[in-house]
A and B are shown apart, each in its own frame.
Chain A
């Protein structure tokens, strides 16, 4: 990878690329955005359709607890993936199972898990301060490109390909199940399986995004792209495509802002996504107003 970074750095120095690309961490960040945009954008419209926004928020907090557990189990500060994947996947299974069988509304149940994992995470973080300088863990909370390594990129790419392949295989069934579970069941889809399946895909995607976006903000990137796309899309294909485009624009824009203003990457990415949301909201209203003016004449 060093020779690739050197080559890109040369291009930046020759003026073919922005000057900031001379730094390997920024090249890694841009590659992260290129991989994350289709994954999170592709999942985000299903998250909105399946009403799993709060579920994603709870998973982000669970990942924080996973980091604490990983570090306590002796994982290195920069790659506590065992703790994160393990705890988040177990929490996901627990949340989906309880949600499917309890009589309480889903948001109340997820709220219980949310509070439980956050409380546990905070207690463990206090324990961690005896071993680590807590400032070193801040990047996990808010996201930082500076902590992304080549190993993280490889993991992100591997999980990205896995999620994309699995999502493509089950996409039609998932979409149908999101819109009408009985109809999906008639078409041969197993609703219970799909619910667990999608939750696990979402968990994997959230965990690998954490270093760039941060635990506190990761749910925004699985929610805002779809919300923005919904403002302007006409039809499910456009909805999907716009979600990916918005996720990419938010990622690249946030990266640029984060590098220029030296603010946390996660915050900058979410601000960029939110700006795009309000822009698409205005565009959507304008388009509908024009459409409603045209319709009576027709």
Chain B
């Protein structure tokens, strides 16, 4: 009890900040933020600096890249895979099923048919299917060579038809079926698992583009 009576009682005035002073401080802070953002944006390399490819590269995610930034051998391999994909789509349109690797090799379609002038790694190609997903997977025989993948996703018949986009990631068959198609590369070629790939980016694959992902419809 004596403790309570002997404690020093002090009066403290709690003065609220005047609204005007607070508003001025808030406006100052807002101006500083806007200025900071302007400075940051002004020092960013602009899309125009790298030309058209620079602008396209800015729209890529970390697991995507443009083939023009890769080696000549990789660019050549990418082109042959683009052609092979078109051939496979034609065969799929005619026969109603995805052609086996041996079938395309017999028809001389690269890279399934071996090019005797190619001095690089030899690839073992295989067709894998699971549900709506189709893989043409190429595994190299050299430890330092990349694996390659053509990934095709067929449309889900239970979903409404998507609008067609004329870009690298969509292809339309003769019967109007719209496919999602993409070409991927994996640096650890011989170590790639042989199971069907559904989400390649989650397994360390890099998606390659000739032009880049398009805008929406």
Contact = CB atoms under 8 A, between A and B. Distances in A.
B121 interface: no
Given A74-B44, A74-B46, A182-B14, A85 B37 contact: yes
A77 to B, nearest CB: 5
Contact of A132 (B41, B59, B204): B59
Interface size band for A: 35 or more
A148 B40 CA distance: 20
Nearest to B212: A133
A122 to B, nearest CB: 14
B14 to A, nearest CB: 4
Nearest to B17: A192
Contact of B30 (A73, A93, A130, A262): A93
Given A74-B46, A85-B37, A185 B14 contact: yes
B115 interface: no
A133 B60 CA distance: 10
Contacts of B215: 129-133
B61 interface: yes
Interface residues of B, number: 36
Contacts of A74: 41, 44, 46-47
B69 interface: no
Contact of A129 (B60, B63, B201, B216): B216
B160 interface: no
B62 A147 contact: yes
A22 interface: yes
A131 B40 CA distance: 22
Interface stretch (B21-29, B77-85, B98-106, B171-179): B21-29
B52 interface: no
A146 B26 contact: no
B3 interface: no
A93 B29 contact: yes
Contact of A146 (B12, B14, B44, B61): B61
A146 B62 contact: yes
B58 A76 contact: yes
A146 B201 contact: yes
B216 A82 contact: no
B61 A139 contact: yes
A76 B62 CA distance: 11
B60 to A, nearest CB: 7
A86 interface: yes
Interface string A178-211: 0000100110001010001000000000000000
B12 A185 contact: yes
With a 10 A CB-CB cut-off, give which of B29, B37, B47, B213 has the most chain A CB atoms: B37
Contacts of B22: 97, 100-101, 192
A86 B213 contact: no
B94 interface: no
Given A86-B34, A131-B215, A146-B62, A101 B19 contact: yes
Interface in A122-147: 129-136, 139, 146-147
A77 B62 CA distance: 10
Contacts of B23: 97
A193 to B, nearest CB: 8
Given A149-B62, A192-B17, 17 more contacts: A22-B204, A25-B202, A74-B46, A74-B47, A76-B58, A77-B59, A81-B40, A86-B37, A97-B22, A130-B215, A133-B59, A133-B215, A136-B213, A146-B62, A186-B14, A262-B198, A262-B199
Interface of B: 12, 14, 16-17, 19, 22-23, 26, 29-30, 33-34, 36-37, 40-41, 44, 46-47, 58-63, 198-199, 201-204, 213-217
Task: Give the 8 A-B residue pairs with the shortest CB-CB distance, closest first.
Answer: A86-B37, A129-B216, A76-B58, A185-B14, A133-B213, A82-B40, A192-B17, A186-B12
27 contacts: A25-B202, A73-B41, A74-B41, A74-B47, A75-B41, A76-B58, A82-B41, A82-B44, A86-B37, A90-B33, A90-B34, A93-B26, A93-B29, A93-B30, A129-B215, A129-B216, A129-B217, A132-B59, A132-B215, A132-B216, A135-B213, A136-B61, A146-B62, A147-B61, A190-B17, A196-B26, A196-B29
